[in-house]
């Protein structure tokens, strides 16, 4: 008889042979910064997550640092929105200002700047529009201007999430010629048109005012296409590739990690977070156990970087191990 249970007999023995471990170094915490003063607004659909104004974010930044988290992903929410998303590349815009403030207070923390127009446009789409069409090539220039502006503010990593074709190459060229050749790009390479994003649209105030994003985000049914998207972004100059969402796309994370030798990030998105929090608040599940199991599954699938709203709690639980 093969006795597989021999290596499960005690906690120390199980730890000794454990194949996958999530560490605090794997975690990236997303934050939402809203233009204005004295703002700390709860996101109703994401228990425990808040929008902060720049002047109120210091408390949250301290909590992040004390948890041991070394990287954050920044989303800005401006007061002024227009059809072209011009606030996205305002040198004194909400995102640029908070990046400067964060780097002044905690120089060593890695600031990843999300690059997309959806939070900045009056129509909520990720690109320039003409009628009901989202224009690809016309969107590349504002994305590049936004990337350079965020790098100039102090962003350590530029993370385009718009899903326009060719944007990684366009951004890479813009960064290089403006003196940011050493600024990495973490591309949302395989970003699916997912129902799991709904709570995020409350948090970032970025719901589209018409139609949906299925003409530029990926069809959830396509796995092989996701690999091609990642390979394209690598060829264009991406340093890190991302799969989003995570839990419903573990097979895609696995394929991408096996087909490329690049760092792979996965975004444990708002809907995945909110379902766990809702069940935990109702007493239906053990929150710690479920969260850590989910994060281990993402790591086991092949993601070395996990962007998650659970990061602060997970960091605490990891320390308690």
- pLDDT tens per residue across span 163-199: 999 999 999 999 999 999 999 999 999 999 999 998 8
- Percentage of the chain modeled with pLDDT above 90: 88
Phi, psi of 121 (to 5 degrees): -95, 150
- Catalytically annotated residue among 70, 81, 191, 277: 191
**Cα pseudo-dihedral 155, 156, 160, 161, rounded to 10:** -90
- Catalytically annotated residue among 34, 81, 244, 255: 244
User: Known catalytic residue: 145?
Assistant: no
User: Known catalytic residue: 191?
Assistant: yes
Residue 204's pLDDT is what?
61
- CA 102 – CA 119 distance, rounded (Å): 20
- pLDDT band for 297, please (50, 70, 90 cuts): very high
């Amino acid at each position: 008889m093969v006795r597989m249970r021999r290596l499960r007999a005690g906690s120390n023995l199980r730890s000794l042979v454990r194949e996958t471990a999530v560490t605090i170094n794997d975690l990236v915490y997303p934050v939402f910064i809203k233009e204005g003063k004295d703002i700390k607004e709860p996101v109703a659909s994401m228990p425990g997550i808040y929008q902060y104004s720049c002047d109120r974010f210091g408390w949250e930044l301290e909590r992040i640092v004390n948890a041991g988290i070394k990287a954050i992903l920044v989303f800005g929410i401006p007061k002024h929105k227009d059809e072209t998303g011009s606030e996205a590349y305002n040198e004194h815009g909400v995102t640029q200002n908070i990046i400067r403030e964060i780097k002044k207070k905690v120089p060593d923390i890695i600031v990843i700047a999300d690059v997309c127009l959806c939070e900045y446009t009056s129509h909520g789409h990720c690109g320039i529009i003409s009628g009901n069409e989202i224009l690809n090539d016309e969107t590349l220039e504002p994305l590049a201007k936004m990337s350079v502006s965020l790098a100039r503010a102090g962003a350590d990593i530029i993370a385009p999430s718009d899903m326009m074709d060719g944007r990684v190459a366009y951004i890479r060229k813009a960064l290089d010629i403006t003196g940011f050749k050493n600024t990495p790009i973490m591309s949302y390479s395989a970003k699916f048109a997912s129902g799991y994003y709904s709570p995020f649209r409350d948090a970032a105030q970025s719901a589209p005012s018409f139609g949906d994003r299925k003409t530029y985000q990926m069809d959830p049914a396509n796995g092989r296409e996701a690999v091609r998207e990642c390979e394209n972004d690598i060829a264009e100059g991406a340093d890190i590739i991302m799969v989003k969402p995570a839990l419903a796309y573990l097979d895609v994370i696995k394929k991408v990690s096996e087909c490329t030798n690049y760092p792979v990030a996965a975004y444990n998105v708002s809907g995945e977070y909110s379902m766990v929090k809702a069940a935990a608040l109702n007493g239906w599940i053990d929150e710690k156990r479920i969260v850590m199991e989910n994060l281990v599954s993402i790591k086991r699938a092949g993601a070395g970087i996990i962007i998650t709203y659970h990061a602060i709690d997970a960091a605490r639980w990891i320390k308690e191990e």
